[in-house]
Amino acid sequence: AQTVTQSQPEMSVQEAETVTLSCTYDTSESDYYLFWYKQPPSRQMILVIRQEAYKQQNATENRFSVNFQKAAKSFSLKISDSQLGDAAMYFCAYKRNTGNQFYFGTGTSLTVIP
Amino acid sequence: DTAVSQTPKYLVTQMGNDKSIKCEQNLGHDTMYWYKQDSKKFLKIMFSYNNKELIINETVPNRFSPKSPDKAHLNLHINSLELGDSAVYFCASSQESRTEAFFGQGTRLTVV
């Protein structure tokens, strides 16, 4: 079974600084999808960014970018110019190209220090 | 328009009661899910339905039963509620291949 590991239960960052959240996954598939979800205190699960494994280019969404290392099975999230509103729980997730099952990591709680 | 909506948002009930949480999606997705998020924020898949067929059923007690009257709805029924059932329950939907899961706003269930 696929597993997703987030080795940082908690992280903190100064406002306006940059922080990187780590995620590794285990799979024997060559085609799959990776996601980062944000869960603020409101508890709504919000998609931050998505990466298709067949794309070599790292996905970017405004201040959020990923470092996708397919051979290393690593998918880290970089948040630039951190804002107070970025404080949340962040979940890394994996999905195979076929089928509908998502695998979530255990989450990283991000604190933004004013 | 809300893409995935679940009701109620909060549910407080006594042990032994039976309760239901409703979920509806207007995205035309073919798969819907129920996740349980415990106090440590771990997300655990409970069920998923694809075209009215149960395709995932993790080690969930028989007291939990999903009901899908149609492709747009997946309700969760819980019988004989226990203290350990207290958690946040999320409904989600997706389309096979190439899309993310869209989540409802969650239902915080508290069993007293």
Q: Across the interface, do A97 and B97 touch by the CB < 8 Å criterion?
A: yes
pLDDT digits (tens, 9 = 90+) for A63-90: 999 999 999 999 999 999 999 999 999 9
Contact A102 B33 (CB under 8 A): yes
Max Cα distance, chain A (Å): 43
d(CA B5, CA B27): 11
Which residues in chain B are contacts of A109 at CB distance < 8 A?
Answer: 41
Contact B72, B1 (CB under 8 A): no
Q: pLDDT value at position B98?
A: 61
Nearest CA distance, B108 vs chain A (angstrom): 10
- Tens of pLDDT along chain B (112 residues) come to 679 999 999 999 999 999 999 999 999 998 999 999 999 899 998 988 887 678 777 688 989 999 988 889 999 999 999 999 999 999 999 987 667 999 999 999 999 9
CA distance B99 to chain A (A): 8
Q: How far apart, in whole angstroms, are the C-alpha atoms of residue A105 and residue A90? A: 9
Spatial distance between the Cα atoms of B42 and B64, rounded to a whole number of angstroms: 19
pLDDT of residue A46: 96
8 Å CB contact of A44 and B106: yes
Contacts with B48 from chain A: Cβ below 8 Å: 100-101
Whole-number percent of chain A with pLDDT over 70: 98
Measure CB to CB from residue A106 to each of B42, B48, B94 and give the nearest one: B42
Judge: A33–B56 Cβ closer than 8 Å, yes or no. Answer: no
